[in-house]
């Protein structure tokens, strides 16, 4: 027997780390197992953008709000910089402005404000925007540097909470209380499996039953353009991708407009998110392709579509790209996440949308508390 603990977590992406923290806060001894030496998957390839506005109405939106509260705790205690706060959803068209007006009338619009494009430009002269129709400003979001934050969280869990990490360790089998790995057996009272978009290593039949596949993204880093963003920026295309806008008045009219004017963007799953790093560079994305495997080769045409939307929002010359990468996450039709109990003391948790950073701490807390009673 390699080691005993109260809890074993399989996977050290953001969902796994969230489960580990939730168990440690309940006074449990925790071991985290992962086949990689550090996080290399979806959790470090994203925007680092904890998004509340636009998440699916109901439970998922509530989980995102709770996750944001927990992120603030983590950032303070683990000394993780928050690079900027809030979101400016830039409605380029009158049709988008109508959707934003509908959003503001829901409970999800609490704390948000809707201003005219001219008013936003006058109060944000530092941002070189083409004049939009309207802008929804949300105070709820925070942005961290994902590729740094995951390692910082793991270090903090180890030093502050006594969580033990066993890396370069492939998990071969999980049964109640026993985890068989490439480095020996581990025993625990409870096991939480957080596999991300690994569809086949553990419980593949259950993953198939849930309809889990992969989404592949293209992401870009742009060289600094000489301005500082107070908020993350999104635009019209995001309104048809985020489920929080799905049932709002005016959305169908916006879809018709986008199909007519930006059908290539819709076909490639392109929408615009822009966040800023400490060095002034901008992380920009993204496109979406679906299938059973990650698609490792970037498309120049997709990159052009992303940059096209960027220059439709920002009044700047075509920017220089300093870095390109492929992102990936698990996806499934009709659901944002699921938890399953393949055995009495085992839980399998998968976030099946690109909102792991935004919801993992809320989901991890819920799953662990439910499982441990």
Average pLDDT across each block of 10 residues of the chain; the chain has 373 residues. List them in order: 89 97 98 95 93 95 97 98 96 97 95 96 93 96 96 98 97 93 95 95 95 95 95 96 94 97 97 97 95 88 96 94 96 94 96 95 98 90
User: Which phi and psi angles does 315 have, rounded to 5°?
Assistant: -85, 70
- Asked if 163 contacts 364 with a C-beta cutoff of 8 angstroms, the reply is no
Residue 30 to residues 21, 157, 185, 186: CA-CA distances in angstroms? 9, 10, 15, 11
Return the axis-axis angle of helices 251-261 and 94-104, rounded to nearest 10°. 150
Can you give the pLDDT at residue 253?
97
């Amino acid at each position: 027997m390699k080691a005993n603990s109260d809890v074993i977590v399989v996977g050290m992406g953001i969902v796994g780390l969230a489960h580990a923290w939730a168990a440690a806060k309940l006074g449990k001894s925790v071991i985290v197992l992962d086949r990689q030496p550090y996080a290399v998957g979806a959790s470090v390839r994203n925007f680092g953008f904890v998004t509340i506005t636009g998440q699916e109405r109901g439970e998922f939106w509530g989980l995102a709000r709770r996750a944001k509260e927990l992120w603030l705790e983590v950032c303070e205690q683990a000394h993780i910089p928050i690079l900027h706060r809030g979101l400016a959803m830039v409605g380029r068209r009158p049709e988008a402005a109508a959707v934003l007006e509908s959003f503001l009338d829901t409970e999800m619009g609490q704390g948000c404000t809707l201003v005219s494009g001219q008013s936003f430009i006058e109060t944000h002269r530092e941002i070189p925007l083409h004049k939009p129709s309207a802008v929804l400003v949300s105070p709820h979001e925070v942005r961290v540097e994902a590729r740094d934050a995951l390692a910082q969280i793991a270090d903090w869990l180890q030093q502050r909470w006594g969580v033990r990490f066993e890396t370069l360790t492939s998990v071969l089998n999980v049964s109640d209380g026993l985890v068989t790995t490439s480095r020996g057996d581990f025993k625990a009272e409870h096991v939480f499996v957080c596999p991300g978009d690994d569809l086949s290593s553990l419980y593949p039949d259950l993953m198939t039953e849930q309809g889990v596949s992969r989404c592949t993204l293209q992401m870009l880093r742009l060289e600094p353009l000489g301005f500082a963003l107070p908020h993350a920026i999104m635009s019209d295309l995001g309104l048809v991708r985020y489920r929080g806008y799905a049932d709002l008045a005016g959305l169908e009219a916006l879809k018709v407009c986008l199909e007519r004017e930006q059908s290539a963007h819709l076909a490639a799953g392109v929408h615009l998110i822009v966040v800023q790093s400490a060095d002034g560079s901008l992380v920009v994305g993204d496109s979406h392709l679906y299938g059973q495997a990650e698609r490792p080769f970037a498309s120049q045409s997709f990159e052009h579509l992303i940059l096209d939307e960027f220059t439709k929002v920002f009044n700047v010359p075509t920017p220089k790209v300093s870095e390109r990468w492929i992102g990936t996450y698990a996806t499934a039709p009709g659901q944002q996440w699921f938890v399953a109990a393949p055995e009495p003391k085992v839980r399998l948790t998968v976030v099946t949308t690109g909102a792991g950073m935004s919801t993992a701490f809320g989901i991890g807390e819920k799953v662990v508390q439910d499982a441990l009673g």
